[in-house]
Amino acid sequence: MRNIKEERNEAWRADLRAQIKVKERMMAPRIHMPEQDAMERSHNNKEVNLGLTAEQAIVEARRCIDCPDPTCMKGCPVSIYIPGFIKQIETGNFLEAAKVLKETSALPAVCGRVCPQEKQCEAECIYVRSGKEPVAIGHLERFAADFERESGQISVPEVAPANGVKIAVVGSGPAGLSFAGDMAKLGYDVTVFEALHEIGGVLKYGIPEFRLPNNIVDVEIDNLRAMGVKFITNCIIGKTLTIDDLKEDGFKGVFVGSGAGLPRFMSIKGENLVGVMSSNEYLTRVNLMDAASDDSDTPVFLGKRVAVIGGGNTAMDSVRTAIRLGAERAMIVYRRSEEEMPARKEEIKHAKEEGIEFMNLRSPIEFIGNAQGRVTHMVLQVMELGEPDASGRRSPVEVPGETETIEVDEVIVSVGVSPNPLIPSTVGGLKISKWGTIEVNQDTMQSDIPMIFAGGDIVRGGATVILAMGDGRKAAANMHAWISN
């Protein structure tokens, strides 16, 4: 464990602080992430955010005043040593910065791209309290991880001597990968079992290339392999192998990070028409199966008028994918107003710049099809905001008699996911909540079957990548403590 206070007092850090006055640091404006031009990027699949240059990263790193009590770290679900890596960037020691990041995060290049920093680390940055823009922690994290990857000098985190204890991980999404990384560091013999043919879970099938290129995910997975983590694809725990099989094979602990992959539908008329699909299906076809490429055998509809139902990040990913695949009209249909949208502000902004239409305060009540059963129209009920509900959000209510009918040839339903019942239902004796999530002790992530821990969406329902990673870390620390006792 690092002693953050002591490290801050090391000579190089003190010197660095002395070089520029705090006042001066705080005067500098936040560096903005260079982006691909909106019109250009809406026709390609390349990353939207281009990353900071080394010069930009150093300038941004200077803004961090190296607080004695770094509040930013409290906002990070995996407690990355934020001032530690940022100060390394300020001195130009980028590889060391990457090393610091990897001590606590198995996937820094991923987190730097997809975490909602504005709600986490950056929300706790001291600057926010004085009304200034926070230090761009996420952009700096991404910079350090990218720099290391591109340098070809990728460091492998230190791993404790092998202790010979076998641990199984169910699912290779962010929760499982983060858990696997921490357990490998502690010297465990870790095997990750994945149902699909690719490692990465939602990082591969869900989040599109223009936000998170698959090759970047692969490099971080290779890093885990270098630490000794084994991966087995095409293997469903509960079906191909049972937990009892794992026990018989000598596994001492199991971490279930199988996610919340089951898409929800709205149960309205016409929802099973051809051309209406879940965002999971659409994004899996495009991202995992590469369906839009000529050399892929998997087909996908290339709709001209595409409506995406929902207002979360998955809805934004889907609608922005649709416009990249040639849609003339790509629409977000959301039953509340933009204020209430759960998607990241940055994603909404990017979507708007790319020409996405936002139909807020609209809720589909029916899809209409032609003789071949293909969707041709959607009927939308106009809504208005009523009184705040129990969660404090103003709930949408119908405006009686006001509907709109709009031409569509593809509809993507992105109204949320439920925990996939496949794992919970096949692991005998596991305590399941009424929402289908696995019940665990919130402090330890341990289920009522002691050898089974769980985390991520299978415990939370649909949440974020970083919360899943935080659960993975917490579960690893607690499983280690449980096994050590």
For position 422 contacting other proteins by CB under 8 A, the verdict is yes
Distance CA 53, CA 33 (A): 9
> Are residues 179 and 255 in contact, defined by beta-carbon separation less than 8 angstroms?
yes
Alpha-carbon distance 236 to 424, whole Å?
Answer: 12
Choose which of 277, 323, 333, 466 interacts with other proteins (CB under 8 A): 277
User: Any contact of residue 441 with other proteins (CB under 8 A)?
Assistant: no
Quick check: 281 binds other proteins (CB under 8 A)?
yes
Ordered strands of the 394-407 beta sheet: 362-369, 375-388, 394-407
Instruction: Find the binder of other proteins among 46, 239, 269, 393 (CB under 8 A).
Output: 239
Residue 289 near other proteins by CB under 8 A: yes
Helical H runs in 160-312?
174-185, 202-205, 214-226, 243-248, 279-283
Q: Which of 19, 153, 240, 433 binds other proteins (CB under 8 A)?
A: 240
Only one of the segments 99-107, 272-280, 346-354, 437-445 lies at the binding site for other proteins (rule: CB under 8 A); that segment is 272-280
Decide whether 128 or 241 has the Cβ nearer to other proteins: 241
- Minimum Å gap between C-beta 327 and other proteins is 17
Q: For other proteins, give the closer residue by CB, 58 or 273.
A: 273
**Cα–Cα separations (whole angstroms), residue 346 to 240, 241, 396:** 41, 42, 24
Token pair recorded at residue 265 = 């539908």
Stretch that binds other proteins, among 5-13, 37-45, 277-285, 360-368 (CB under 8 A): 277-285
Neighbours of 236 (CB within 10 A): 16
- Please state, in angstroms and rounded to a whole number, the distance separating the CA atoms of residues 73 and 69: 9
Residue 218 Cβ, how far from other proteins at the closest point, in Å? 14
CB of 484 to other proteins, least distance (A): 32
Residues 6+ apart with CB under 8 A from 247: 451
Q: How far is the CB of 283 from other proteins (least distance, A)?
A: 9
H or E element, residue 255: strand 251-256
Per-position x/- string for 173-202, each x denoting binding to other proteins as judged by CB under 8 A, each - no binding: ----------------------xxx-----
**Integer Cα distance of 141 and 49 in angstroms:** 14
Of 157 and 173, the one with the shorter C-beta distance to other proteins is: 173
How many CB atoms lie under 10 A from the CB of residue 270? 19
When binding is defined by CB under 8 A, the residue of 16, 67, 159, 241 that contacts other proteins is 241
Return the closest-CA partner of residue 181 out of 387, 375, 469, 421.
Answer: 469
Residue span binding other proteins (CB under 8 A) among the ranges 47-55, 126-134, 167-175, 370-378: 370-378
In the numeric block, the tokens 């020409």 are attached to: 355
CB nearer to other proteins: pick between 90 and 457 = 457
Query: Which residues lie near other proteins (CB under 8 A)?
Result: 195-197, 205, 233-236, 239-242, 261-263, 265, 267, 271-275, 277-278, 280-281, 284-285, 289-290, 293, 295-299, 372-374, 420-422
